[in-house]
Amino acid sequence: MYSLYFLPVFVLIPHKPEKINLSKYFTSPVDSIQILSTDGVDMYPIIEGKIMVQLKGNVGSARINVFSGGDSFVKDMLFVRSKSRKIKFIYRGSGRNVYLAGSFNGWNSNALPMIKTDSGFVAEIQLSPGRYAYKFVVDGKWIQDTNNPLSEDDGYGGRNSILIVKGGHEFIDDISPSHYRFPFTLSRVYILNGDRLLDEENYSIKGRDVFLKNLKTDVIRIVGIGRKGEISGPFTFNIKPEPPIGGIMYFLFVDRFFEGDGRNMRKIKDPEVPDIANFMGGDLKGVILKLKDGYFDSLGISVLWISPVFLCPEGAYRDALPPHRKFTGYHGYWPVDLYRIDPSFGDMDDLKELVQECHKRGIKVFLDMVLNHVHESSRVYKKHRDWFTSIYLPDGQKNIRLFDEHPFTTWFDEFLPSFDFSKDSVVEYLSSAAKFWIKEVGIDGFRLDAVKHIPHEFWRVLRRRMEVERHVWMIGETISSREKINEWISPSELDGQFDFPLFWVLRDALAGRTGMDRLMQEIVRSQDAFSDGLWVPFMDNHDFGRLVSFINGDLLGNEKELAFVSPPGKPEKKSYHLMKIGFAILYSLPGLPMIYYGDEIGLPGAGDPDNRRMMRFKHDSDEELLLKEVKKLAGLRRKSRALRFGRVVPIKAGNEYMVYMKKYFSEKVVCGFNRGEKDIVVGFKDPFTGKHIKLTIPGEGYRMEEI
């Protein structure tokens, strides 16, 4: 059990009524709620597992009895004052329909309408401390805020406006699992151990220190109140994290990794299909061979995420959008049958062997599960047309890739009908298909495609269906803001999601497009945002151009078009050095960092499908040196609980470097990263002991040092 499976500390704006849906924190529907006691909050239950809460001051608490699934659960709730601020945006130009879009809402162009007033078009939103990029969307046109002097390149030839909401980073000293130290003298603390507040018999305060005893679970959340009114927290500590927390996940395309059985080789014979968009011969047997060779062990891999292996369509299909190129289903995301493995990849025995061999080595297996759609050649589509949404909108327009306007009904292409999740038969069919792979093969979890295009209620049903005999890990893909990503992370839905907000900044920082100081800020923001769920940071994936080519400056322009007209070649030596820094950052982060296959050798590539080249196991000297460095990092992470589990404590940063500490109780590691060409010496004080430290960080390199 980990922190996600306990109620979080709720952060509220004082004196503002807030509706909280407790059903999201239980795998079974909540039937009713009984409020047993309150302190510092007004609270009353409303329908369908919801409560209305109003925080009176800085901190409040309540004890409730929740009736769910025929059982009752007594739980304590803790509420803390939000550090967010109300920010007013004003667009002073003309227009009919004006919206505000930015990194705070996943750049959704129609989610935040601006209201016309005498002073201009106005929108007000609450924002926590941090750095935000934004634009105005005026009658469909994206416009920079010319009244704001702060801006940056938007990557498309224009500029994003930048807003900085000030606020410092908070941390406390986790001296031991039973001893914590605040930066101020304490007058009171609130300590949640699991779902129960510790009473005063089970903790004591001595100045800045708090001592705990008789802990019932391994999850602790602490809020401290100072004698001068200071407030700090909440802070979450997981005393004994369970796998895969602290591991490393490796994502591979089965067709593009390694060929172990030439008999499965298949090519779609169509002159309009480029080689890069056709099958290349990788299979499950090839993955098994590399597993047995120790390849994944050498990289410190604890979770293997494999691309979809479902039956694929026979031919090639034309993209509905210009320039209308043809592709095959080599990638597995066009499933014809969710219960069958495509012969090109292998068979059921191969998949079972892969899972068994992984488990022998302590590696979990996550299967990429496609639940939003099937291919038009699927028997399910032919037999049950009423299970799917219409490709046409009421006005006759085709509903293809209208992801913002019609997120739950849009089709990804003309040959990929989307399921209608309002139908009980659809929910039953898809949840049964997912459960089939758990029971039949023994996989440990799923990577779930297109999460935000499937309603929350389906994910809740899927979670209930999965949680019968053991915990099934569910990791989602939602390209959006942290706030939006978090909407799907809860005990009733997903364990975690991929951290796209950090992904963009990490790429830009390694490529020199933004400062390392900004990267450190964003790492801390993500750590705080995803502290309850499974944090999945990453620096490359299968939908965007390869990181090493991005760093090398080879992806200027349309990444997807470059894949066909000017695919990038071998990067310069400097780009491999910067990839080394990227891996050092990933291997120092908590949660479950993800590696995209081929990055460990600096495999180049433009956009999809060029970012899915065949993996190579014969390397030149630059590739071999990078691979050697990644293996070294795997060894460092394996030996250090601070690297695997410790919180990131920011120390010092500039445009070319950043230094942070990883701390897990008594273990501390200082991590320095320098993208500049020259060695630097960074002096600072240990934030916990005050000891003066000097860290020498090599040019285009990193340094990790236990202290």
State the pLDDT confidence band at 69, using cuts at 50, 70 and 90. Answer: confident
Mean pLDDT of the chain: 95
The CATH superfamily of 645-706 is Golgi alpha-mannosidase II (2.60.40.1180)
pLDDT at 74 over 70: yes
What's the CA gap between 285 and 306, in Å, rounded? 13
CB 343 within 8 A of CB 364: no
What's the CA gap between 374 and 33, in Å, rounded? 40
What are the DSSP E strand ranges found in 182-255? 186-193, 196-197, 203-206, 209-212, 219-226, 231-238, 249-252
State the pLDDT confidence band at 704, using cuts at 50, 70 and 90. Answer: very high
Mean pLDDT, rounded, for 442-449 = 97
**For residue 8, cis peptide bond before it (omega within 30 degrees of 0):** no
DSSP H stretches of helix in 259-346: 284-292, 295-298
What's the CA gap between 274 and 256, in Å, rounded? 15
Domain boundaries, the chain: 85-165, 645-706
State the pLDDT confidence band at 41, using cuts at 50, 70 and 90. Answer: very high
Helix (H, G, I), strand (E, B) or coil at 94: coil
Percent of the chain with pLDDT over 90: 90
pLDDT at 639 over 90: yes
pLDDT at 155 over 80: no
pLDDT by residue (tens digit) across 348-385? 999 999 999 999 999 999 999 999 999 999 999 999 99
Q: Is pLDDT larger for residue 64 or for residue 27?
A: 64
Domains 85-165 and 645-706 share a fold: yes
Q: Which fold has domain 85-165?
A: Immunoglobulin-like (2.60.40)
Task: Give me the pLDDT at residue 84, please.
Answer: 87
Residue (of 234, 247, 237, 219) closest to 2 by Cα position: 219
pLDDT by residue (tens digit) across 6-22? 999 999 999 999 999 99
Task: Give me the pLDDT at residue 1, please.
Answer: 53
